[in-house]
A and B are shown apart, each in its own frame.
Chain A
Amino acid sequence: KQEVTQIPAALSVPEGENLVLNCSFTDSAIYNLQWFRQDPGKGLTSLLLIQSSQREQTSGRLNASLDKSSGRSTLYIAASQPGDSATYLCAVKPGGTGANNLFFGTGTRLTVIP
């Protein structure tokens, strides 16, 4: 069974810093990897989706990379802002016809201090 781990569990940084969130997964046979943002008491907002054939995706101040062979992804946030404070979740969709769902990590809770 695919297992997804996110490190660190929590991170606190001053405003303006660049930061990296880490995600690792045990089975490299994936279709894609998604990064989500979750605000307290809210649902999930999709940030970036990286297909298995891609190495990275960028959206604004966010850049996600994927190293499928080593089972790792990173989410880079540039010039962090207090509004970036949230929990960030990564999720993988396994390869193979039998896989119908996403496997999630437990998230990294980010606090950006003004």
Chain B
Amino acid sequence: GAGVSQTPSNKVTEKGKYVELRCDPISGHTALYWYRQSLGQGPEFLIYFQGTGAADDSGLPNDRFFAVRPEGSVSTLKIQRTERGDSAVYLCASSSRGPTSYNEQFFGPGTRLTVL
């Protein structure tokens, strides 16, 4: 059916606030990825889920960032005490199998986060 969806499409917040970004992967896709893209740069990996578990969170920049995927489908990226440097486009991707396959990653439209 539908592709990867992300909400909200835009989020403006003030420094120090808490934000949640949501990702709905393609139905049936077990692998889910979060990336962050700063202006003029390519996306950078944040975290990878296989099913419900965070199999690799090595890309999270610090402990203010956290992500969950409690039922193995929808994922939420949570950022505490936001800083101006967190401003970026947050992209979510999903694929039908795990990382050791050749399956393509399909990306959502992203959430543009602006921290004032």
List chain A positions with a Cβ less than 8 A from chain B: 4, 31-32, 34, 36, 41-46, 49, 51, 89, 91, 93, 97, 99-107
Contact = CB atoms under 8 A, between A and B. Distances in A.
A101 B56 contact: yes
Contacts of B6: 43
Interface of B: 4, 6, 33, 35, 40-45, 48, 55-56, 59, 91, 93, 99-100, 102, 104-110, 112
A36 B91 CA distance: 14
B102 A89 contact: no
A104 B42 contact: yes
Given A32-B102, A107-B42, A100 B55 contact: yes
Contact of A46 (B35, B44, B48, B104): B104
Given A91-B42, A104-B43, 16 more contacts: A34-B104, A42-B109, A43-B109, A44-B43, A46-B106, A51-B102, A89-B43, A93-B99, A99-B99, A100-B33, A100-B45, A100-B55, A101-B48, A101-B56, A102-B35, A102-B45
20 contacts: A31-B100, A31-B102, A34-B104, A42-B110, A43-B107, A43-B108, A43-B109, A44-B93, A49-B102, A49-B104, A51-B102, A100-B48, A100-B55, A100-B56, A101-B33, A101-B48, A101-B56, A104-B43, A104-B44, A106-B40
Contacts of A4: 42
B8 to A, nearest CB: 14
A19 to B, nearest CB: 20
